[in-house]
């Protein structure tokens, strides 16, 4: 039997580590820490590329095959995001923008400049503190309609619209005690129910429970609405978490990222670790015309911009 070298041991340990991490992502319902492994499918497949080249170069063929299989396994979760882009539809779309501005972000000019450049019709801002609300008052002339619940800390929220908002209210969804907003936006093409929400981050068992409760309560809220729904927010989860897939399945909403590829939004400062935490989910009747990640506004999140049409 051929003696194992340090290279063989290193490759085996690496392959085993990526395999375990890839599988633990399915066990998020067993323990909150396992769910964290579900978010890094893109990173797992990227990490395998260099060891694969080394294994191929050094003629470790079995290990090279194992690495290819790991890449393919994780890519099966990412690949669907690149399919399902809708056909182009005529007419001017409506533009929605989601921005977690970060409560401690001091770059008001950059935030306001990004909003002016994108010029959204519907704008959801998260982590709005009373200080931020004062700075954002400069948007009053452009956005005549708003629902706002500033808070100290990281869960203040503000919905702004160029078009009338009816039946608007601030509600608490789930057990986290954080505000969400609901309103019907009377757009030129039709009426859409806007739901803006921001569950707590899954940092520990208690916060993870609050996040999961909030995500689990959203489908019932969505089904109560008589209008097509646009759900927006930093959901503090990715498309590969079992809690996100349950939300999509039970609500009947579609992930706006489908057809436009992987669009990570957090953390801004760490390119390799970036994952898609900021989401826009739509009723099937809504046609998504375009979806993109916005420019750096000084927050730890990048904004999300989406153009859509209403039947």
- Residues 77 and 142 placed together within one structural domain of the fold: no
Alpha-carbon distance of 139 to 148, in angstroms, equals 13
Tokens 């921005």 appear where? 99
Alpha-carbon distance of 58 to 8, in angstroms, equals 10
Alpha-carbon distance of 18 to 242, in angstroms, equals 19
Each residue's pLDDT tens digit, 136-150:
999 999 999 999 999
* 135 part of a folded domain: yes
The candidate with the shortest Cα–Cα distance to 116, out of 265, 295, 290, is 295
Mean pLDDT (the chain, rounded): 96
* 216 part of a folded domain: yes
More confident residue, 220 or 84: 220
More confident residue, 87 or 132: 132
Looking at residue 188, what DSSP letter applies? Answer: S
The candidate with the shortest Cα–Cα distance to 310, out of 215, 184, 197, 218, is 184
- Residues 112 and 219 placed together within one structural domain of the fold: yes
Half-sphere exposure of 26 (CA within 13 A, CB side): 7
Alpha-carbon distance of 252 to 247, in angstroms, equals 8
Half-sphere exposure of 134 (CA within 13 A, CB side): 3
3-state secondary structure of 153: coil
Tell whether the model's pLDDT for residue 90 goes beyond 80.
no
- Residues 44 and 116 placed together within one structural domain of the fold: no
- Residues 262 and 125 placed together within one structural domain of the fold: yes
* 241 part of a folded domain: yes
pLDDT at 155: 98
Alpha-carbon distance of 102 to 301, in angstroms, equals 8
pLDDT at 2: 63
Q: Given pLDDT bands bounded at 50, 70 and 90, which one contains residue 91?
A: confident
- Residues 58 and 154 placed together within one structural domain of the fold: no
Q: Is 303 left (phi over 0), alpha (psi -120 to 50) or beta?
A: beta
- Residues 166 and 250 placed together within one structural domain of the fold: yes
- Residues 118 and 197 placed together within one structural domain of the fold: yes
Tell whether the model's pLDDT for residue 176 goes beyond 80.
yes
Edge to edge, the sheet with strand 145-149 lists 145-149, 157-161, 122-126, 94-100, 304-309, 287-293
């Amino acid at each position: 039997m051929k003696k194992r070298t340090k290279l063989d041991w290193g490759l085996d340990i690496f392959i085993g580590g990526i395999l375990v991490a890839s599988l633990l992502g399915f066990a998020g319902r067993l323990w909150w820490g396992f769910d964290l492994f579900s978010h890094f499918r893109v990173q797992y497949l990227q990490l395998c590329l260099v060891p694969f080249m080394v294994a191929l170069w050094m003629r470790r063929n079995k290990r090279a095959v194992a690495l290819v299989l790991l890449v393919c396994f994780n890519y099966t979760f990412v690949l669907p995001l690149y399919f399902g882009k809708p056909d182009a539809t005529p007419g001017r779309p409506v533009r929605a923008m989601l921005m977690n501005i970060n409560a401690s972000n001091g770059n008001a000019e950059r935030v306001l400049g990004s909003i002016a450049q994108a010029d959204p019709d519907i704008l959801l801002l998260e982590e709005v503190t009373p200080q931020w609300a004062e700075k954002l008052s400069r948007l009053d002339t452009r956005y005549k309609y708003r629902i706002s619940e500033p808070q100290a800390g990281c869960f203040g929220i503000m919905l702004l619209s160029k078009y009338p908002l009816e039946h608007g209210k601030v509600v608490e969804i789930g057990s986290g005690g954080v505000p969400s907003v609901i309103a019907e936006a009377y757009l030129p093409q039709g009426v859409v129910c806007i739901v803006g929400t921001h569950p707590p981050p899954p940092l520990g068992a208690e916060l993870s429970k609050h996040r999961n409760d909030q995500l689990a309560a959203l489908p019932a809220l969505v089904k109560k609405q008589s209008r097509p729904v646009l759900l927006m927010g930093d959901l503090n989860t990715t498309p590969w978490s079992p809690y996100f897939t349950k939300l999509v399945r039970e609500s009947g909403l579609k992930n706006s990222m489908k057809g436009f590829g992987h669009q990570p939004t957090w953390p801004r400062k760490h390119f390799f670790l970036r994952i898609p935490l900021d989401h826009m989910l739509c009723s099937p009747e809504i046609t998504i015309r375009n979806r993109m990640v916005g420019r750096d506004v000084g927050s730890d999140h990048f904004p999300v911009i989406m153009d859509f049409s209403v039947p």
